[in-house]
Structure 1
Amino acid sequence: MRRITLWLMSTVAAIVLLFSYRTSTNGGAVAAAATATAPGTATPTPGPSSHPASGATPSPSASRSGSSSGTKTYTGSVASTRWGDVQVTITVTNGKITDVQVPVYPNGNGRDQEINAYALPILRQETLQAQGASIDAVSGATVTSDGYLESLQAALDAAHLA
């Protein structure tokens, strides 16, 4: 009888410990991603919308706008993913990618916001370093990374960059 009681109490204690274990300590990862950008450059802040502005119809091809000073902005097509749409906008100056923005990304719930607050700055930094779409997906944000790469490639194609 004592062994059964001891075994039962041990099992209950183990279950309580398992359920109280916190699996996500993403606060440090977000801070690390924010400090990973070069000093003096702006950290991208993802836009507030997960869908294009009302009335706007996403085109399958990339669009471009810009000034005559050699700086042009190219917007990639909207990539539909399992968790929401992703769209990338690049700024090109003299044939070099100088800025990357993500105006449309999944942010419908807290988990989407947490993942993308971590993943989008990493994807942006990788794009600026690689000067193209030859970048790795972010672990834990594979779906967003795939949509990002699809839209980025459309913007690069519009800019006639490799």
Structure 2
Amino acid sequence: MITQVNNHKSHYTLVDLIDSSGPFTILRRALDIAGLSVMLSASGPYTLFAPNDRAFAKLPKGTVEHWLRAENRSDLLSVLKYHIFPGLASSADVGTMSHPKMLQGQATFITKEGDRIRIDGSNLIGVDMVSSNGVIHMIDTVMQPWHE
């Protein structure tokens, strides 16, 4: 089920919304470590498919800790950039996309069945959290880019 959270323009940045709009403590820490908080606090627009803390908890044991180590920053950066679309996409827009290219460089896939929207197998569970520099859609699974 998709919950529309907010559909009005905000004076908050994406990072401000992450700080104030839900269970995003792991994501916030990861964005800081990866150096992406500054970008998501600046101009945009960006669309962030934000995994909540429960999404991170579903990962195999040790995965988050691995990503958060300094020597694995490039892995963390790749995963996080795979959650960022360089442009503004409301939930209505996302529902019409099929293979958007993410900031990380790879295209992901989106499916829509009725009111249910999935991106790379992850359900959108909270949508249209609008900020001054983009929009956040909460997802229930951490997406991972493929590696050759």
TM-score normalised by L of structure 1: 0.27
Bigger relative contact order, structure 1 or 2, given CA contacts below 8 A and separation 6+? 2
Considering only CA atoms, is the larger Rg found in Structure 1 or Structure 2? 1
Q: Which has the higher strand share?
A: 2
Q: Which has the higher helix share?
A: 1
